């Protein structure tokens, strides 16, 4: 997609979102759209490390939950002072905390490769969940409630406001992802993904690039998780560290195509919409099963995702022509 078309897409999506907020009546659609956009941000964030760099991260739910608990802790502290800050404060706090965790995690684990790195990130999520279970200030294992404030001006309900905030963050994540792909930094990540040893021999600062990648990933995942307590109003470790969040963060980029900035966007929209439809028409318990089946199918039949599959078909048609 060329630059003009890309910015046209961004502006068009923003205008559609504004019209949706102004004209929509059924609040269920905002709840469903929020979940899809949340998954989109997580997928884009995961792809910055897992797709562009080739380091598979199984700890996405850990970053998401840390941001959610950062919001809970900060909200409880500020309410004790009689303060009710805007959502931007919680998003910034979640982004900073998860960005620092991403940087620290990368420094400790990025010297590992392959399955060893994946296991290390999974262990990190387990450690964070154990800490949340034993941290009484944020409710511990029994969870914590959070009160939804009054909607800000120009919004008739708080879920409309949350949807619009998530839409803005989704567009920001897409812009960041596309910029990385077309930058010198992105070309360095691609070199690491293709052959890290050869990239090091050519003078590519692989460790520094990977650390930046984990930090950006953490920032975006923190942004996605920070508004979550206001969406559900009750958070416990089991729901915050949900398997579904971790699985979706991996499956959506792989279904869409990990080598492209728009692959996770396509995967998140298609799979997220299918999950919401199945939750309403059949059962929400089928979501993880659906993701697993679809993911296995794509890994076997179309390992490069939908985008790669379409590109392969185009190449075959051109070669025959």
pLDDT string in tens for the chain (321-residue length): 667 688 888 999 999 999 999 888 888 899 999 999 999 999 999 999 998 998 888 889 999 999 999 999 999 999 888 888 899 999 999 999 999 999 998 888 887 777 888 888 889 899 999 999 999 999 888 989 988 888 888 888 999 999 999 999 999 999 999 999 989 998 999 998 888 888 888 888 888 999 999 999 999 999 999 999 999 999 999 889 988 888 889 989 988 888 888 889 999 998 888 888 887 777 666 666 777 777 777 777 777 788 888 887 887 887 776
3-state SS assignment for residue 144: strand
Query: How much is the pLDDT for 162?
Result: 95
Helices 243-256 and 28-50 pack at an angle, to 10 degrees, of 70
Query: How much is the pLDDT for 154?
Result: 86
Q: How far is CA 174 from CA 6, 22, 51, 120, 204, in A?
A: 10, 24, 14, 27, 25
pLDDT in tens, 169-222: 999 999 999 999 989 998 999 998 888 888 888 888 888 999 999 999 999 999
Give Cα 66 distance to the centre of its chain. 13
Which residue has 């923003």 as its token pair? 14
Which residue has 């964070």 as its token pair? 128
Query: How much is the pLDDT for 285?
Result: 67
Query: How much is the pLDDT for 96?
Result: 96
Return the sign of the alpha-carbon dihedral for residues 128, 130, 133, 134.
Answer: negative
Query: How much is the pLDDT for 283?
Result: 66
Query: How much is the pLDDT for 284?
Result: 65
Tell me, yes or no, if the pTM score tops 0.85.
yes
Given a contact cutoff of 8 angstroms between Cβ atoms, the answer to whether 140 and 234 are in contact is no
Query: How much is the pLDDT for 278?
Result: 80
**Rounded to 5°, angle at Cα 56 from 51 and 59:** 120
Tokens representing 195?
């052959």
């Amino acid at each position: 997609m060329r630059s003009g078309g890309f910015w046209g897409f961004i502006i068009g999506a923003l205008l559609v979102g504004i019209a949706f907020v102004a004209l929509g009546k059924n609040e269920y659609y905002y709840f469903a759209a929020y979940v899809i956009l949340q998954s989109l941000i997580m997928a884009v964030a995961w792809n910055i490390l897992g797709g562009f760099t080739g380091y598979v991260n199984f700890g996405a739910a850990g970053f998401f939950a840390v941001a959610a608990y950062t919001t809970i802790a900060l909200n409880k502290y500020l309410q004790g002072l009689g303060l009710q800050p805007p959502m931007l404060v919680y998003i910034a706090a979640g982004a900073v905390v998860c960005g620092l965790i991403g940087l620290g995690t990368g420094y400790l684990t990025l010297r590992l490769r392959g399955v060893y790195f994946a296991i290390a990130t999974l262990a990190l999520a387990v450690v964070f969940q154990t800490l949340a279970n034993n941290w009484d200030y944020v409710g511990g294992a029994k969870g914590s409630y959070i009160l939804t404030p009054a909607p800000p001006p120009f919004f008739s309900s708080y879920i409309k406001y949350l949807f619009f905030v998530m839409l803005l963050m989704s567009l920001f994540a897409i812009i960041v992802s596309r910029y990385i792909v077309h930058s010198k930094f992105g070309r360095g990540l691609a070199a690491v993904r293709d052959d890290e040893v050869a990239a090091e021999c050519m003078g590519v600062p692989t460790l520094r690039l990977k650390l930046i990648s984990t930090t950006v990933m953490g920032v975006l995942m923190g942004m996605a998780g920070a508004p979550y307590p206001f969406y559900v109003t009750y958070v416990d470790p089991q729901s915050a560290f949900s398997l579904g969040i971790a699985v979706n963060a991996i499956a959506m980029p792989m279904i869409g195509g990990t080598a492209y900035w728009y692959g996770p966007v396509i995967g998140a929209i298609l799979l997220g919409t299918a999950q919401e439809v199945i939750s309403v028409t059949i059962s929400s318990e089928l979501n993880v099963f659906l993701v697993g089946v679809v993911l296995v199918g794509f890994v076997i039949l179309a390992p490069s995702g939908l985008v790669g599959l379409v590109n392969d078909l185009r190449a075959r048609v051109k070669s025959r022509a």
